[in-house]
Amino acid sequence: MARPLLGIAMLALLLFSGAAQAEGLLIIANPNLIVATPVPLSQIAAIYLLRVTSWPDGSHIVPVNREAGSRAREEFTRRVLQEDNAGLAIYWNEMHFQGKMPPLVQESEEAMIAFIRNVPGSIGYINGSAPRLDVKVIAYVP
């Protein structure tokens, strides 16, 4: 009971703050994830660069990207990962060959939310104008 209320409070805080009105990014995770929020953006970047692979409870992290070319992907790449797309593509291919799975891709916001809601350990992002109650918001990028 406490967890949904906490989520609602957090979303309300985000929605009514000036920052949320500026179309930021919500970093979202599976609702069953137990993690202290907000998760630092440096940790989120480390997750997407495959240098952190487990949540504090030991469960495997499943990072999810939007498709290349989407606005959310561009924003996330620029503001959180702070890398260029070409370099990331090479990097993820190299990591894949070395046994680390690159982020999965979901090609719409609805698909992203459905995946995050259903898959334990998953983490993704959506534009700040569309917060949802059925996923856990773990960070906000103004």
Partner 1 sequence: MAGFLAFAAAGASADDYQLGHGLDLGPLNIAGYSDLVARFPSKQQKSIDLDDLSLFVTGHFNRLFNPFVEAELTNLSLVRWGGVADHDRGDGDFLLERLYNDSYLTDSTTLRLGKMLSPVGEWNEIHAAPLVLSAVRPAVTFRNFSEYTTGASVRFADPYSQVPDFQLYFQPTGEFSERPRDITVHRYRSVAGAHVSLPLGLLDKFGVSFQQSKDRLGVDQTLFGGDFHYTLGKLTLQGEATYSDISNNGIRTARDIEWGLYSALSYAVTDNWSIYGWYEGFADRTSPSTAHDVLFGIAYRPQPAMVLRLEYLQNIGGRPVNPTGLTASWAVLF
Which residues make up the interface to partner 1 (CB under 8 A)?
42-43, 46, 49, 51-54, 58-60, 62, 83, 86-91, 93-94, 96-102, 104-107, 111, 114-115, 118-121
Q: Name the minimum Å distance from CB 103 to partner 1.
A: 9
Please identify, using beta-carbon distances, which residue of 22 and 90 lies nearer to partner 1. 90
Nearer to partner 1, 11 or 104 (CB): 104
Give SS3 for 136: strand
Q: How far is the CB of 61 from partner 1 (least distance, A)?
A: 9
Q: How far is the CB of 120 from partner 1 (least distance, A)?
A: 4
β-pairing verdict for 122-127 and 25-29: antiparallel
Nearer to partner 1, 14 or 76 (CB): 76
For the chain, the residue count is 142
CA-based Rg of the chain, rounded to a whole angstrom?
Answer: 14
At 91, list the tokens: 């990097």
Place of tokens 């894949």: 96
Q: How far is the CB of 129 from partner 1 (least distance, A)?
A: 23
The CA-based dihedral angle spanning residues 98, 100, 103, 105, taken in that order and rounded to the nearest 10 degrees: 70
Cβ atoms of 137 and 10 within 8 Å: the answer is yes
